Structure 1
Amino acid sequence: MKLSNQDFRKNYLQGMTKKIIFITTVLLFSFTIQAQDRKAKQLLDEVTAKVKSYNNMTIDFKYSLNNSKENINQDSKGNVTMKGNQYVLNFMGVTKIFDGKKTYTIVPEDEEVTISTVNENDDNAITPSKMLTFFNSGYKYNMDILQNVKGRKIQYIKLVSTNPKDTRKEVLLGIDVQTKHIYNLIEVGKKGTKTTLTVNSFKTNQPLSKNQFTFAGSKYPNYYINKLD
């Protein structure tokens, strides 16, 4: 079954955003997880220490969705710029801006902007802090395979959810051993679906506009503004 571009965008944009925030969380924060593997923790701590010194990050990525049983094979590219908990994400023709308080989802195809306020008490809120809490309390992890990818040594860390209702069988986090940067994130579903987010380029401390994470409504005069709260 081949999904239409509109359906695919609708179904997976939020999931992709969660993965971006998930990677940001791994990069920016140190954490303690049940059933810790010392070598895995040491590597994650090195990644954290390396990236904490960065003022901002810009990532170009490829996102793949595969399920051989359902004959689904979708690839998309995007990019995200992050500073602290603020970000601008461009993916599948949609721009998502989070200024630290509100999220602005801009869909040119529909000429619509959706504005929502992030509620820190909402367990479903997609924020680094909530993803950090979820990750800390719900996973076991250990070192996995070491791969040579075009001359780069990529060490994988396997994470398994302790929640029996989680639809994912496992999560694999690939880390470049030399640079201590995230290379990719692979989620394997219990029903055979695999999603992969691969970092194509990783830039740090780029010159950013002071309005980088500010939504400018004047740029969208004919758009429908959908305020959710």
Structure 2
Amino acid sequence: MFKKQLLFIGIMTFGLLSYGQNSSKAKTLLDDVYTKAMSYDNIYIDFKSTLENTEANLKQETNGNVTISGNKYMLDYLGAQQLNDGKKVYTIVPENEEVTIEDINEDNNIVTPSKMLTFYRTGHNYEWDILQNVGGRKIQYVKLTPIDSNTEIKSILLGVDVQTKHIYKLIQTGENSTKTSITVNSFKTNQSLSNTLFTFNEKKYEDKGYYIIRN
């Protein structure tokens, strides 16, 4: 009986040590990703987004791109533009000829483009996951599980290019079985940007007859 208990304790201890090492490896990799991202003046990402729910027989694919510089960004996605100038967020929808102006949302559970490369640093438990070979590139996945049990996000898989330390893929699974994935098609850094890229010109849209909504 004593030997069985000792064996059980040994297995449990080995499991805890392995989990701790895996968690530590995952955190170290994500710290490397963060350090690399913060070393750039700006980042341009061209991506493919896929929304999938097998229970509802739903699958939608959309392309988009985003330019990020510090806490500012310009996002082109789903036929609309979203601009964050560091103070306000402007959502421009040409189809509806309207612009919505809002304060920046500080909700930590919302992954905005400005937090796309940093959101994983807080509020999650880390776990070392699978390694994939994608076109000769080694993509190491880290599984993130939200610490907050009230969130609608069940888990996030973050795929990191082992060589460049750039994020290649993000797969988010919701409590309702909806899976959202973002795959990076192109990742460019330190681009030459217009001085007005992150500046919203309200008069330009007023002259076009756009309806301005202030929230």
Q: Give the shorter-chain TM-score range.
A: 0.7 to 0.9
Pick aligned residue for 1:191 from 176, 180, 189:
176
- Report what 2:197 is aligned to: 212
Change (3 A) 1:62 1:104: same
Residue 92 in structure 1 maps to residue 78 in structure 2: yes
Matched residue SS, 1:77: strand
Q: Which residue of structure 2 aligns with residue 18 of structure 1?
A: none
What runs of 5+ residues in structure 1 fail to find an aligned partner?
A: 1-33
Identity %: 56
Shift of 1:125: 7.5
For 1:150 and 1:129, locate their aligned partners in 2 and report how far apart those are by CA, in whole Å: 28
SS of the aligned residue for 2:182 comes to strand
Question: Which residue, out of 50, 58, 71, partners 2:44?
Answer: 58
CA distance in 1, matches of 2:135, 2:119: 34
Letter in 1 for 2:214: K
Match for 2:87 among 101, 114, 138?
101
- CA distance 1:82–1:63, change in 2 (3 Å): same
Contact 1:35–1:140 (CA under 8 A) maintained in structure 2: no
| Pair 124,188 (structure 1): closer, same or farther in 2 beyond 3 Å | closer
Alignment correspondent of 2:186: 201
Aligned residue for 2:132? 147
Gaps of 5+ in 2: 1-19
Once the two structures are TM-superposed, the CA of residue 45 in structure 1 deviates from its matched residue by: 1.8
Q: TM-score of the superposition, structure 1-length normalised?
A: 0.76
Report the RMSD for the aligned CA atoms in angstroms. Answer: 2.7
Deviation at 1:165, TM superposition (A): 2.3
* Distance 1:93-1:199 versus aligned 2 partners, 3 A rule: same
Deviations 1:125-149 (A, max 9, x none): 8768989998555311111000011
Bigger Rg, structure 1 or 2: 2
Partner of 1:37: 23
